Each structure stands twice: as structure tokens, then as C-alpha cells.
Amino acid sequence: MRRRFQASDTVLASFLVAALLLVSGVVGTAMAQEVLPSWNDTAAKTRIMDFVKATTAEGGEGYVVPEDRIAVFDNDGTLWSEQPIYFQFAFMLDRVKTLAPEHPEWQAKEPFKSVLAGDPMGVMKGGEKGIMDLAMTTHAGMTTDQFSKIVTDWFASAKHPKTAKPYDEMTFVPMRELLDYLRANGFKTYIVSGGGVEFMRPMTEKMYGIPPEQVVGSTITTEYAIVGDEPVLNRLPKIDFVDDGAGKPSGINKFIGRKPIFVAGNSDGDYEMLRWVTAKGPSFAMIVHHTDAEREVAYDRNSEIGKLDKALDEAERRNWLVVDMKADWKKVFSFEK
């Protein structure tokens, strides 16, 4: 049965749609849902929501078409905690311990010796070369599939040194809500981190609802090889790209290929990304300022990890929102009472 479509059908269809919405309660449910519930009702929340409303109001002056609604987020210190040490650094130390029985020579050889002696700060003081040795030993020499499994297994068992919680619970609830809120408004959310892309990708979907293809990060070189008759990608001990500082705009350009309109960071490592995203056109930038010594850690200008100095100085002048974790967030972690 197929009838010709007539004007009276439109009226009937409209009526049916309206009836359907009322019956199922869709309208009521959508309107009842609170936006950014873990944010206090301070200026920070208002500024974020004002920007999202402006970019999504069709016909409005600040309207941005959905395909240009790209939002980028730093990871360490912006989406998940980075104190007392970067998660990937903790992974590296644990990995050395796991591999140590196969390498008796490490007991007498730096930087492995410091790691095995439980002295991570000693390792960091050993400088860049030592850390690079550790990174390459623990991040290269296996296939991409094998590394993905190593990372997944580590996240399933490792515990944060301060909270004793699994690392995947160490994400900031208000930031996860912000990701959800942006996505609900047609934004495509990306991570743009100095961390290794293959260290983050196995976890980002579960932790943030961000799929692997929306994770930009530092990379090491991989090499195609045939093992038996099976093609694999081997991870070589060679840095391919460092997605930090001035590297972040290049990383965004390379991986995403268009300029975001929303950016969130927390340290001077995000400074160039903040500058580049906010250079022209409608845009919004925010800095997560770690001000809460009680619920997390308070640090900025003098921290060895996540130093925030230059970006903080310029924030007001450049109209970047500085989020005060203590004042602006009701909650930091999901496990808080």
C-alpha cells in the first residue's frame, strides 16, 4: 500500500510526532537533565555554557557548523591526574620491575638500578637520557598488539601511589561531564597529549568515551614485518614525534587537519596549543588550575610536573578561562564521599 503524499498528511504526521513525544516522555526527560552537575554555579560554568549556546544557536552570530566543532583536551593534569608522577612514568617503572628477572644486569646499571631500588625521583634526576633509555626499553621491542595488551593489563592491576585507586578512576569528573556536554552539542572531542598515543588509546574509550582515532599524542616509529606468514607492526626504539609544547599545534594539524574551536589544557606544555586555537575566529580556551590541596594537589609555577606559569600570566589578557578546581568544582574524583 503506497499513497500519494498530501498536505493533510503533513498535518497528521506532525500531530502523531507530537503525541508520540508526549506519550514516551522524551521531552520531559531531556529538559530535566542537569548540565555539568559537578560544576559549581560560578562564572566558569556560565562562560563554558555561554560559548556552547552561542556556537550551537542556528542563525546566531557565533554559530559554528557541527563539522567544525572540534574540541581538544590535554590529558595529563587536564583529564586525569598527573601527580605525584605521570601515569605513563609509573607504567614505565612497573614495567622495569616486571622485566627485571630477565635482566639481572639491571641491578647494577643506571637508570634501572634506581628504578629497582624504588627511587623514581632519582631516575628523574638522572636526566633525559636515562628516562629515554627506560622509555625505549619498556615501550619498544614488541608488536603494537602486544604493547596494547601490556598497557591494558597494567591499567587492570596497577594502583595510584597516593589514592590506591585504579588509574582509570583517577579522572576528573567535571571534565568527563564537560566532554559529554560538548558531544551532546555536536562537538567532536579529541585528546591532544604529550603522552604516548599507544599508551592512551587502549583506555580512552572506556575512560572518556573518546575512540582511538580521536587520540593525538607522541609516537614512536613502527615497522611493518612478516612473522611466519603474519604481518605485524614492530615498535622500534625511535621517537617519531613529540606532541608537546610547540609540537601540539603541529600534531593537531597532522592528525586532525582542521583547527579546533575549543581547547583545554593545564600547563605551559599547552601554551602554544592555546595560542594557536584562539588566534582567530570563534574559540574558547580553558586552563585547569590545580588549586585543591585537599581533594587533589595544589601546584602551578614551581612544579616539576605540569608547570603552569607563562600560560597563567597571559590567561586574562588572552581571555582564557582559568578554572579554579577548588572553587569551581563540586567534586574532583568519582570515589570521593
Q: Which is nearer to its own copies, 25 or 37 (CB)?
A: 25
Q: Are 207 and 80 in contact (CB under 8 A)?
A: yes
Spell out the residues 6+ positions from residue 281 whose beta carbon is closer than 8 angstroms to its own: 259, 261
Q: How far is the CB of 278 from its own copies (least distance, A)?
A: 9
Q: Which is nearer to its own copies, 17 or 132 (CB)?
A: 17
Q: How far is the CB of 25 from its own copies (least distance, A)?
A: 6
Strand-pair partners of 76: 80
Quick one: which of 64, 296, 99, 266 has its CA closest to 182? 64
Q: Are 83 and 297 in contact (CB under 8 A)?
A: yes
Quick one: which of 185, 198, 167 has its CA closest to 79? 167
Q: Which is nearer to its own copies, 12 or 43 (CB)?
A: 12
Q: Which is nearer to its own copies, 176 or 188 (CB)?
A: 188
Q: How far is the CB of 213 from its own copies (least distance, A)?
A: 5
For residue 168, count other CB atoms closer than 10 A to its CB. Answer: 16
Amino acid at 95: R
Q: How far is the CB of 221 from its own copies (least distance, A)?
A: 8
Amino acid at 261: I
Residues in the site for its own copies, rule: CB under 8 A?
A: 1-3, 5, 9, 12-13, 16-17, 19-20, 22-25, 28, 67, 70, 144, 188, 197-198, 201, 205, 211-213, 215, 219, 221-224, 226, 230-231, 233, 240-241, 246-247, 249-250, 253-258, 272, 275-276, 279-280
Q: How far is the CB of 173 from its own copies (least distance, A)?
A: 24
Q: Are 206 and 88 in contact (CB under 8 A)?
A: no
Q: Which is nearer to its own copies, 12 or 121 (CB)?
A: 12
